[in-house]
Amino acid sequence: MNLYFWIPMGILGLLLVAAFIKRYKMFKSMSNATNSEKLIILTDATFQKTISKGVTLVDFWAPWCTPCKIQGPIVSEVAEAIGDKASICKLDVDQNKKIASKLKIRSIPTIIIFKDGEPVKQFIGVKTKAVLLKSVLALTN
């Protein structure tokens, strides 16, 4: 093969390696994202009491789930923006299988908004801060 074939292949290989490194660094930084102080971490034991009064948004997630790593910081931002109008929570489905099974959580991330203990709205997949804020604020008014 001639030189005109190998030079573009080498450049393409370098671009692919650079893209891989960039994506790896992005995912690595997501796992180090900090949670808001207003974010409530739920367990099987605390779930029912927490959702029983008022409006509560619960993010069902797992640490190995890449879309969950994208959704996590968004949920933390929602917790900061909402303040005391609603409870914003996270529940690790790997550690709390009883509640995840009871609610038939099959895909993650799943977000369910509860009002006085009853599920009112459900989202599957990554949702934006604007979508979550609009949905929660509509129920708090």
Q: Of 65, 103, 120, 137, which residue is the catalytic one?
A: 65
CATH topology of domain 40-140: Glutaredoxin (3.40.30)
Nearest 5°: the CA angle 87, 68, 129 is: 50
pLDDT of residue 42: 95
The residue among 126 and 11 whose pLDDT is bigger is 126
Residue range 106-120: average pLDDT? 96
Stretch 122-138: mean pLDDT: 95
Average pLDDT of span 44-65 = 95
Q: What percent of the chain has pLDDT over 70?
A: 91
- Which of these ranges, 21-35, 50-64, 71-85, 88-102, has the smallest mean pLDDT? 21-35
| H or E element in which residue 58 lies | strand 55-61
Are 59 and 75 contacting, i.e. CB atoms less than 8 angstroms apart?
A: yes
Query: Does the active-site annotation cover 89?
Result: no
Nearest-angstrom CA–CA distance, 111 and 102: 15
pLDDT of res. 32: 44
Q: What would the mean pLDDT of 15-38 be, rounded to a whole number?
A: 67
Residue in 39, 51, 68, 88 annotated catalytic: 68
Between 17 and 128, whose confidence is greater? 128
| pLDDT, the chain, mean | 88
Angle (deg, nearest 10), helices 129-140 and 66-82: 40
